[in-house]
A and B are shown apart, each in its own frame.
Chain A
Amino acid sequence: MTYEKRLDGRKFDELRPMEAKVGVIPNAKGSASFKSGKTWAIAAVYGPKEVFPRFLSNPKRGLLRCHYTMMPFSGSGERIRPGNSRRSQEIAMVMTKALEPVIDLSEFPNSVVDIYIELPQTDAGTRCAAICAASMALAHAGIPMKDMVCAVGVGKADDKVLLDLTYKEEQISQFNEASKGQPATDIPVAMIHNTKEVTLLQLDGEISKEDVMKSLELAKKGVDEIYKVQKQALLDFYQGGNQNE
């Protein structure tokens, strides 16, 4: 017995429905909202501005700094105590590394661009949704960037390589007896859209090398679809409903 049909009816290479919007926070220089299924991330970009603490300052170019926060009511179980957890600090760090390769802050030495991410609700793929939102917010802010960064979770549940796992799928061994207690493998990936170069890659589970490579191929497909959604959201901001008066 194998994982024949996905819990939510999707095909194995199908993304969850996405919703993206740009310009959701007027106070910020750039902002965006990105929803993938039930995971929702809101990003705001502030800066370039003076760096504090000063010692972080780089005289050659500006810094990028991400801040990641799950709202206290965004976890699928109990309330999440506000404050910086180790997990959110690590996610903030890998997010920054995922976005840095496309950003050019050479014109802004000794400054920092801060990206704040808040998530009102989550269902796996949080760091990926955060990166997708942050990418749009940076573009909206007019930061020089050579390409968009798109991120999605790929992996393996039971015996199938899948695109865009939900929380339930990550926990598949608890739901599907046939999986024989084998944990799902969750692989968040971020890629630069044109070149498909990987800027974020994490993995945990049990998976063969072949399946890892299969998963990454699948991620490429996800990236192309996400890019379309990001592009539409950015264009809609300038051409869409809010322009008609």
Chain B
Amino acid sequence: MSEILVKQRDIVIPGQALAKGMDCLPGENTYRDSETIYAGVLGLASISGRVIKLTPLSGPYIPRVGDKIIGRIKDIAMSGWRIQTNTAYNAMLNVKDATNRFIKRDEDLSQILGIGEYAIVQITKVTSQKLIDLTMKEHGLRKIHGGRIVEINSHKVPRVIGKKASMISLIREHTGCDITVGQNGLIWIKGTSEGELLAHEAIKLIEKKSHQEGLTDKIQTFLESKSGKKTQKVNVVSAPVKTSAPVEKKAPETQVSNESTPKEGGKQ
């Protein structure tokens, strides 16, 4: 008979026994050794029927095709720009993928994107050796300036966005900032200096408490106490998600438009 040894949302450490018996199935970040399923990372347990999986509490960002990320221009080559993506890997943005307008042969590329500048880009390809190709041509992708960049662990990104973008909307409302969340954990905040600092603090708080329940309420309380503003109680309607761990890799819309009431129809 099978026996599940942990509860939903328990924090487990590598090598910890999660379940005994052949009826249970090892999901992501777990493995089976004879009859027992063990944890393969430091994470939150998530039990769905007979599948036990773990959501890592931290860990390196793993680049995936389609991810919108924030990168920093590291270097300028003949064919484009080399961009730092918060991975160990080389990411190239080719001249032809940077903009729709025609770029002349001898045009100074640093005028378009200079070293040290940041841009919102999208991953179009990841080779087996993890070389990354980027584009800046799609809607919402561009160079950014002003404001500040906050870095969090990429695994916490879904929590910063929240179910149906509830968390990120909450922060935007209280701080009045434009916020763009990159899947690689880099977040761009732009607003007043007080607003930016408050958003920074809220995001860091989310990162620290990401494994806790009732996080949206906690953050709402924090923001209200700091900004003195009271907002509508955020009603998070539980969408019929497959798992209860907030870990969808294809997270809801990470883009923010430049309007002040960001109502993006993000995918869920």
Contacts and interface: CB of A to CB of B under 8 A. Distances in A.
Chief secondary structure at chain B's binding surface: loop
Given A148-B14, A234-B13, A235-B13, A142 B88 contact: no
Contacts of A192: 15
13 contacts: A59-B129, A109-B128, A112-B88, A141-B58, A142-B58, A142-B59, A143-B60, A144-B41, A146-B14, A147-B15, A194-B38, A230-B13, A239-B11
Contacts of A230: 13
A104 interface: yes
Interface in B65-121: 87-89
A142 B31 contact: no
Given A110-B88, A146-B15, A243-B212, A141 B130 contact: no
A142 B154 CA distance: 11
Contact of A147 (B38, B130, B212): B38
Contacts of B89: 50, 110-111
A-B residue pairs, 8 tightest by C-beta: A142-B59, A147-B15, A142-B58, A111-B88, A145-B14, A48-B88, A139-B42, A49-B88
A62 B41 CA distance: 16
B102 to A, nearest CB: 34
Contacts of A47: 60, 88
A140 interface: yes
Interface in A56-81: 59, 62
A190 B61 CA distance: 30
A230 B12 CA distance: 12
A235 B11 contact: yes
B60 to A, nearest CB: 5
A193 B31 CA distance: 15
Interface of B: 11, 13-17, 29, 31, 33, 38, 40-43, 56-60, 62, 87-89, 128-130, 153, 155, 205, 208-209, 211-212
Interface of A: 29-30, 47-50, 59, 62, 102, 104, 107-112, 139-148, 192-194, 227, 230-231, 234-235, 238-239, 242-243, 245
Contacts of A245: 205
B108 to A, nearest CB: 27
Given A145-B14, A146-B14, A243-B212, A107 B62 contact: yes
Given A139-B13, A238-B11, A30 B38 contact: no
B95 to A, nearest CB: 24
Given A30-B58, A144-B40, A148-B15, 17 more contacts: A29-B60, A59-B129, A110-B129, A111-B89, A139-B14, A142-B41, A142-B42, A142-B155, A143-B60, A144-B41, A145-B41, A146-B15, A146-B31, A194-B33, A230-B13, A242-B208, A243-B208
A20 to B, nearest CB: 12
Contacts of A107: 62
Nearest to A51: B88
B226 to A, nearest CB: 12
Given A50-B88, A108-B60, A110-B129, A243 B209 contact: yes
